[in-house]
Amino acid sequence: MSRAAVYSLLVGDTELSALGIGASNIFPSNATDDPPATQPFLFIRWEETSPRWGLSNSPGKTSMSLWAHDHGGSYNRINLILERCKEILEAASHVVGSDGYILTQVDWRGASGDLVDDGYKTLTRNHGYEVVSRKAPAA
């Protein structure tokens, strides 16, 4: 799956950076117990993968969700973050990641309602995606 390509697309975006999202606050799913106390943060959660064309050794479609959290009293910044992520990911095509996988296509699958995370004491929402990837050919 295209973990490195997705991460590099999000980390490298200046609009997300202006919203407070960058390398220091984008995490794999639940990878930190101590997220930033004042900044928004984003979790990338990779879920189930279905084999491509019935080949068990070839990644195909993978479900992924992005969880945006914020400490403010409004969902406005969360919505802006998730919408920008959607623009970035839906425009991505054939992005080679440093992990040897190529991000072929990303399709948005929907959004959650407004949620509260009692553990992190944040407001949160998420967007779901279907990510299509393939292994880069050997050089």
| Contact criterion met (CB below 8 Å) for 82 and 67 | no
First to last CA, the chain: 19
Q: Return per-residue pLDDT of the chain as tens, 139 residues.
A: 789 999 999 999 999 999 999 999 999 987 877 888 889 999 999 987 766 555 544 557 899 999 999 998 899 999 999 999 999 999 999 999 999 999 999 999 999 999 999 999 999 999 999 999 888 887 6
pLDDT at 58: 53
The whole model's pTM is what?
A: 0.90
**CATH architecture designation of domain 3-135:** 2-Layer Sandwich (3.30)
What residue spans define the domains of the chain? 3-135
pLDDT at 70: 96
pLDDT at 97: 93
CA distance 43 to 74: 19
**Token digits of residue 12:** 């490298």
